[in-house]
Structure formats: C-alpha cells, structure tokens
Structure 1
C-alpha cells in the first residue's frame, strides 16, 4: 500500500501531543513540513484504494478463468485488502462530513 501508514501515524501522534500541550499553554501549531499538500495526499490515497479494487477484481477474474499462478488465498487476500481500504476511506469521509457539519453549525 502506498499510504505510508507509519509516517501518517507518527504525524498524528505529534499533532495529538501539540493539542495536549496547547491545553496547558498556548503554542502555535507547526505547519506540515512535507512537500505535499492535503489535496495531493488525498488524491494519492484515493487512487491507491481504487487501484486495490481493480487489482482485486483482476485477480478474481484471472482465477475464475483458470490461471494456475493464482491461488484462492491470493484472491481472497487481495479482496480483503481492497475491502478494508474501502471501509477506511468511507470512515474518513464520514468523519470529514461530521466535522464539516459541526463547523457549519457554529455561530458566527
């Protein structure tokens, strides 16, 4: 998978630490030092999820057509990877929509 989960996890941990410190004392947030912006990261993640889905479908069709280089285990693992990636994407979408609704309901 091309999402680089470890770097994403460490970045989330550092942001959580900054949030906890911010409760005790006001501290400006540090901007993301990476060269990619959020839109590019989101597009790459969605492309990866899409590619996993197509790869899963291709393996399924190849297995059904009698490809001897694929086992049922390979096909099922690819299918589960695609399913998990899709479910994670749906959960992220739900959280973004929830945050958007919360922000829109704030009094100005």
Structure 2
C-alpha cells in the first residue's frame, strides 16, 4: 500500500483543520506536500490502468494468443478486482467522513 499518499492526505487534513480553527497554515502544496485531489486522481488512474491491462490480457487469451499464460491473466484480473474494491472502500470512507463533517454543530 502506498503510505506516501496516506501521509500526504493526512497533511492536507491537518492543514484544513488548522485553517478551520483560525490558525494560519501553509497550503499542502506550498509546504512540500501534494494536493489531495492529485493523489486521489493518481490512485484512480492506477486502478483504471490495472483493469485495462487485465482486460487486454484476458481478451488476448480468449482470442487464442499463446503468449498469454492463464495463471498470469488470472492473477492480473484478481489484482485489478482487489484494487477496485479497495478504491470503493476508500470512497465509502471519504463519503462517511464528509457526512460527519457536514453534520457537525458549529
């Protein structure tokens, strides 16, 4: 798992919390961190690329391409499936966190 992305997300959340409490804080991009949206988009792009590669391998195997190994195709398909499930869980956690923040009393 990419811990650098998680650390970057935490720095964005800390910065946002500091701004909400009235403390001045540098933006994550200015502080040397990466933008939360960029990290999220990069992760989604990686999942999409893994799915596309697995689908192409499966299509080649189904078409009779002898260079494709069944074992490798099945591993690629399973890996893409797990990556997608992980992405869905992250989305669910983000949606829950957003709802929790929106329901806070001010």
**TM-score interval (norm. to shorter):** 0.7 to 0.9
Per-residue CA deviations over 1:16-75 (Å, capped at 9, x if unaligned) read xxxxxxxxxxxxx995633x2111111111011011111111000000001111111011
Q: Distance in 1 between matches of 2:41 and 2:5?
A: 15
Structure with bigger RCO (C-alpha 8 Å, 6+ apart): 1
Moved over 4 A (4+): 29-32
Q: Distance in 2 between matches of 1:93 and 1:74?
A: 29
Count residues in correspondence: 91
Structure 2 runs not aligned, ≥5 long: 12-24
Aligned to 2:75: 77
Shift of the alpha carbon at 1:8? Answer: 4.1
Question: What is the SS of the residue equivalent to 1:70?
Answer: coil
Aligned to 1:21: none
Question: What is the SS of the residue equivalent to 2:105?
Answer: coil
